[in-house]
A and B are shown apart, each in its own frame.
Chain A
Amino acid sequence: MTSKKNIGIVKPKIFESLIPLRLQSGKILKEYDLIYETYGTLNKDKGNAVLVCHALTGNHHLAGRHSSKDKYPGWWDNLIGPNKPLDTNKFFVIGINNLGGSDGSSGPKSTNKKTKKSWGADFPVVTVEDWVNSHEALITSLNIPKLAGVIGGSLGGMQVIQWALKFPKKINHAIVIAAAPNLTAQNISFNEVARQSIITDPDFNKGNYYEKNTQPKRGLRIARMLGHITYLSDDVMESKFGRKLKNKNYKYDFKTEFEIESYLNYQGDKFAKEFDANTYIRMTKALDYYDPANGSKRNLSKVFKKIKSKFLVISFTSDWRFSPDRSKEIVKALLDNNIDVKYAEITATSGHDAFLMEEPRYHAILKSYFNKML
């Protein structure tokens, strides 16, 4: 067996679309850019392309490094590369930063070509549907008639479902991981708390903070801390941190004392430095809005009638934000339509975050599935 290798240095590319995109909100993006990266080589028959959709805080940079100085590789480097489960010796892998993002695609931070200023609050609210429409424009520009597969976890999984619904003839395999057909009230609640913490930060300035050279860091870090708690399971927090203290004794003040507090603060600070607040509130909105069946489980089966692709659905036992039961709703709607589907429920302690981890069974499943795909 050949050993796993890393992808090395990669360079992003820009897709500039001059064709207006009609958004779900009714607004129109006259022109837009999408930043993307590709790994591996597109076959002559163009049949080996796999699109990877990113979740809330991801981007187009899936694997490899932009320079040898980069501390960390792309966010799904453990999955994608030569001889890795999504093997770039076989597949042509594509990562796109979604519209509204802040890593090079058109979004609040990018320049509005009309005003020559950053979009800020004026950048429209975009949805999963809008993203998939823009993905399809990019895929078409690469002369790929049909994707071998589309894969994504969490919010990325919703985009995979949308791909299968909107472009049934352009996708062979849909891999939906730790996802749901829509968000529950509890899930929307977490997103709303996150948004409120950002929006009510005085530095947010209604979303127009770029010219003031500020970032609503207080809001962002609280949003991230809250998110982080929900991505982990009670068990994994207990085993990693428990009630461990930073110092020996209680200090009877309000500085961080427990290790979990210090961990959450660290994660919050790190995130507030790296991530854009306008993007964060838009990504959570896209999550909240996605609901292809308008809230009805019965209707999901009707909506899924259009689907032509085969499905692999994966959930994780300790994931309480996108629980296995939610994945089973997707499976049920597929079964009702006699669609080819494989479903795995993976025993994992790390909660929703498990979909990003290199859990052996999880990766063995993906490897086997990709092996049979071409």
Chain B
Amino acid sequence: MKLNKNNYRYDFPIIANWVKTNSKVLDLGCGDGELLNYLKKERNITGYGIEKDSDKWLESLKKGINVLQVDIEAGLPEFEDNSFDVVILSKTIQSMHNTEEILNEMLRVGKQVIVTFPNFGYWRDRIQSILGVMPKSKELPYSWFNTPNVHLCTIKDFDDLCKSNKYKIVDRLVLTDTKSVKFFPNLLGALALYNLVNR
């Protein structure tokens, strides 16, 4: 089974927009290294990626990415406080177990944090739920029995988590395919992108 994570790369330009030129970036769950590569080209960033999966790790290595095979569920003990300009968790949060802990770790290590995730409040997902099946979509291509996703959330859920943890939302963008969704984002948006700082 292959992760579909990088089939949809329309979120890359938005992430790049939030990353300043020459930033030092840490990408958690960097997959085949495409995002870091993109940011290198567009923003001249330096930095590291973390990838647990051996095959994807090797793909990153082949692209020349500084890729580290460590388990982020254990936190980020290898990294000092504020040692990165930006820490990114792109379409990975839904498969994490220690979600809150990792967000806190990201905000400890990075001055700025970018999180993207598939919005479980998206109307197509809601309809499938009403029809009595586990939702499947472009952003959530798995069946219930083989999904790596354990912590799916909606935009509202994530807003609440930010509030209770005092993460400051600098920017939020919601997309469906390539289009920005302004109205009823929690219903009409498929992918959520957050730009956070520690309050």
Contact = CB atoms under 8 A, between A and B. Distances in A.
Contact of A372 (B62, B66, B79): B62
Contact of A341 (B54, B57, B66): B66
B62 A341 contact: no
B48 interface: yes
Interface of A: 328, 331-332, 335-336, 338, 340-347, 361, 364-365, 368-369, 372
| Majority SS at the chain A contact face | mixed
Given A331-B78, A332-B78, A338-B46, A344 B57 contact: yes
Interface stretch (B67-75, B142-150, B167-175): B67-75
B67 A335 contact: no
B61 interface: yes
A347 B80 CA distance: 27
A343 B69 contact: yes
A365 B57 CA distance: 9
B69 A345 contact: yes
Nearest to B55: A361
Q: Which 3 A-B pairs have the closest CB atoms?
A: A343-B68, A345-B69, A332-B78
Interface of B: 24, 46, 48, 54, 57-58, 61-62, 64-70, 77-80, 83
Contacts of A372: 62, 64
Given A331-B78, A332-B78, A335-B48, A341 B68 contact: yes
Contacts of B66: 340-342
Q: Name the residue among A343, A346, A368, A372 with the largest chain B CB count within 10 angstroms.
A: A343
A344 B48 contact: no
B78 A335 contact: yes
Q: Name the residue among B64, B65, B77 with the largest chain A CB count within 10 angstroms.
A: B64
18 contacts: A332-B78, A335-B78, A335-B79, A335-B83, A336-B83, A338-B24, A338-B46, A340-B66, A341-B66, A342-B61, A342-B68, A343-B70, A344-B57, A345-B70, A347-B54, A361-B58, A368-B61, A369-B61
Nearest to A311: B66
Contact of A328 (B46, B48, B54, B78): B78
A345 B50 CA distance: 12
Contacts of A332: 77-78
A137 B185 CA distance: 67
Contact of A342 (B24, B54, B67): B67
Contacts of A345: 69-70
Contacts of B69: 343-345
Contacts of B79: 335
B62 A368 contact: yes
A344 B68 CA distance: 6
B64 A328 contact: no
Contacts of B57: 344
A336 B68 contact: no
B1 to A, nearest CB: 18
A361 B61 CA distance: 13
Contacts of A335: 48, 78-79, 83
Contacts of B54: 344, 346-347, 361
A332 B46 CA distance: 17
Q: Name the residue among B57, B69, B70, B79 with the largest chain A CB count within 10 angstroms.
A: B69
Nearest to A344: B69
Given A342-B65, A342-B67, 17 more contacts: A331-B78, A332-B77, A336-B83, A338-B46, A341-B66, A341-B68, A342-B66, A343-B67, A343-B68, A343-B70, A344-B57, A344-B61, A345-B70, A346-B54, A347-B54, A361-B58, A365-B58
B99 to A, nearest CB: 23
B64 A364 contact: no
Nearest to A339: B66
A369 B67 CA distance: 12
A344 B51 CA distance: 10
B83 to A, nearest CB: 8
Contacts of A364: 58
B80 A365 contact: no
A296 to B, nearest CB: 16
A347 to B, nearest CB: 8
A309 to B, nearest CB: 13
Contacts of A347: 54
Contacts of A361: 54, 58
Contacts of A331: 68, 78
A300 B112 CA distance: 28
A286 B64 CA distance: 34
